Amino acid sequence: MLFSERLSLDRPRNEDFTRYYEINSDPQTNLFNPKGPMDFDTARTRFDGFLQHWEERDFGSWVVRLKDSGHIIGFGGLSYLMYGDQLRLNLGYRFDQAAWHKGYATELSRFAIAHGFSDLRLSEIYALVRPSHSVSIKILEKCGLTSFGTLDDAPGQHHSLVYRIENPKAV
């Protein structure tokens, strides 16, 4: 388990799935997700992918808990994701509505980037964001990511914006 100022970050376990499903099936947490809220089977498949990523790589998206209470407020971190035909290390997160506008996404993102560069020795980290999701764009920019182009990841929708940050020690 890792700790930031207010958060504890842990490897997901099967017993965390119910909370994962609650957060990811909520229409409000999916306002900027072109696929919309997850149904049970989709959530189970995605969550199993988190578990497999950890098994294969010994890192991945974390269960995000409040340090003081242990309550799960979201899921996020670093994991490999296909950007078209390229496999890239992606920073992603999704938080319960009650955790919005409290700085948790920024705190998680900064911690994940530092962890990725210092502990995992990554050379760069990417993030995808919908053009209309101004809050997440501000979070990414506040964390040092810059615009790197677009990606047609949702056919029939506006392209996602691609953001990137390079490890200053690797440049």
Sign, CA dihedral 121-122-123-125, equals negative
What is the predicted pLDDT for the residue at 102?
Answer: 98
What is the predicted pLDDT for the residue at 3?
Answer: 96
The pTM of the whole model exceeds 0.85: yes
What is the predicted pLDDT for the residue at 169?
Answer: 86
CB-count burial class (<10 Å; 0-12, 13-18, 19+) for 87 = exposed
Question: 31 pLDDT exceeds 90?
Answer: no
The CB-side HSE value for 115 (13 A sphere, CA atoms) comes to: 20
What is the predicted pLDDT for the residue at 152?
Answer: 87
Contact between residue 134 and residue 111 where contact means Cβ atoms under 8 Å apart: no
C-alpha 47/C-alpha 40 separation (Å) is 10
Question: 171 pLDDT exceeds 70?
Answer: no
pLDDT in tens, 77-131: 999 999 989 999 999 999 999 999 999 999 999 999 999 999 999 999 999 999 9
Contact between residue 94 and residue 74 where contact means Cβ atoms under 8 Å apart: yes
What is the predicted pLDDT for the residue at 35?
Answer: 80
What is the predicted pLDDT for the residue at 165?
Answer: 98
Does CATH place domain 2-166 in 3.40.50.410? no
Q: What are the distances in angstroms from CA 7 to CA 109, 112, 142? A: 12, 12, 19
pLDDT in tens, 34-91: 788 999 999 999 999 999 999 999 999 999 999 999 999 999 999 999 998 999 999 9
What is the predicted pLDDT for the residue at 6?
Answer: 98
Please name the residue that has the structure tokens 């969550």: 47
